Amino acid sequence: MNPEQIRLFEQNGYLLIPDFNPRDQIEIVTNRFESLFRGEFETGLQPDEWNWREGVSPPDLTRQICNGWKSDTAIAKLVTNEKVGEICALLMNWPGARINQDNVIWKPGGSKPLGFHQDDSYQNWIEPSSMISCWMALDDTRKHGGTIEYARGSHRWPVQTKTFTFHGPSDYHEGLKYSANQLGIDTYTIDQLEVKKGDVVFHHGRIWHGSEANQLDIPRRSVVSHCMSSEAQFHPENKSPIYNRYKKFDSLLMDESFFPITYSRKGYRSPFLDEI
C-alpha cells in the first residue's frame, strides 16, 4: 500500500488492486461452486446462509452463500488471507481485522440484479458497527455482465436504516435513489467496474453498491471477505438473528472459532487459520 492508494480509498470509498489472487488458486475455488450450491460441503458443515439451492430456487436469481469458509477450505484460504486482513486494517485504521462473514456469489447468464445497499446497514449487532470488504473477481467482468457498481464517494453518507429488496429487485438502484433524495443529493456518479479475474476491490462498509442483471451468457462469480475490527464485540442489546447464535452467555467477546482474526499489528493471527 502507498499514500496514493490510501488517498483514493478515502476519496472514492473503494480501491481496486489488480492481480491480487493467483490464477491457480482461483481455478480451485471456481471448480467448487457447483458442488457447493448442490449442498456438497467439503468440511461437512453447512454455511450460515444458503440463499440458492439447486432444483428448488428460481434459476434466474443470483446464487449466494454466506460463510462458505466454514464449508470449504478453498474458500477459507481465499477469504482469511493475512494480506487481505492487513490491508483492511490499514485502510480503516484498525489494530487488526477479523472475519465478519464471507459471500460466495454466482451470477449465471440471465440472472437478476442485486440491489444497491450499504454493508454497514446490517452491522448494528457489533461494536464498532462498521466493516470493510474485499470483493474478489473470479471471472473477467464486463459492463453488461452484472459486474459490481459503486456510487463514488457515498461512503461519506450516513447509514441508511430503511432496508430494500436485495435479491432480484425491479429497480436495483432503489435504495440509493431513496437515500440520495433524503439527503438532498441531486447528482452522483456510479462507477461500473470492469475488472479481470484475480483483481480485487476493497470497499468501505458505508459505500452504496450493487450489480445489475447479467445480460450475457457467461457467469460472473466472486467471493467477498467482509472484515471488522479485530477488537469488535457483540452489541449489548442489538442482535443478529443469525450471528448472535455464536454469542456466549454473559459475554460480549467474539469467539475466534467463528470470527477468526486474520491479521493484527501485534503479529497475532488465529492459529488454526494457517492449518487450513
Residue range 3-13, pLDDT digits in tens: 999 999 999 99
- The pLDDT score that the predictor gives to residue 140 is 97
- The pLDDT score that the predictor gives to residue 144 is 93
Residue 274 to residue 256: CA distance in whole angstroms: 13
Residue 22 has pLDDT above 90, yes or no: yes
- The pLDDT score that the predictor gives to residue 251 is 98
Closest CA to 165 of 177, 155, 157, 173: 173
The count of structural domains within the chain is 1
Global pTM reads 0.96
Residue range 24-66, pLDDT digits in tens: 999 999 999 999 999 999 999 999 999 888 888 888 889 999 9
Do residues 119 and 223 make contact, with C-beta atoms less than 8 angstroms apart?
no
Least confident of 119-123, 163-167, 246-250: 163-167
Q: Read off the pLDDT band of 143 (50, 70, 90).
A: confident
What is the tally of helices (H) and strands (E) in the chain?
6, 14
Q: What is the CATH number of the domain that holds 172?
A: 2.60.120.620
Residue 55 carries which side chain, given as an amino acid letter? G
- The pLDDT score that the predictor gives to residue 130 is 96
- The pLDDT score that the predictor gives to residue 54 is 84
User: Of all residues in the chain, what percent are helix, strand and coil, respectively (each to 5)?
Assistant: 25, 25, 50
> From residue 44, how far is each of 36, 41, 71, 255 by CA, in Å?
11, 5, 7, 21
- The pLDDT score that the predictor gives to residue 25 is 97
- The pLDDT score that the predictor gives to residue 53 is 86
Domain with 59, as residue range(s), is: 3-275
Percent of the chain with pLDDT over 70: 100
Please provide the DSSP assignment of 118-172 as one string: -GGGG-TTEES---EEEEEESS---TTBT-EEEETTGGGSPPP-S----BS-SST
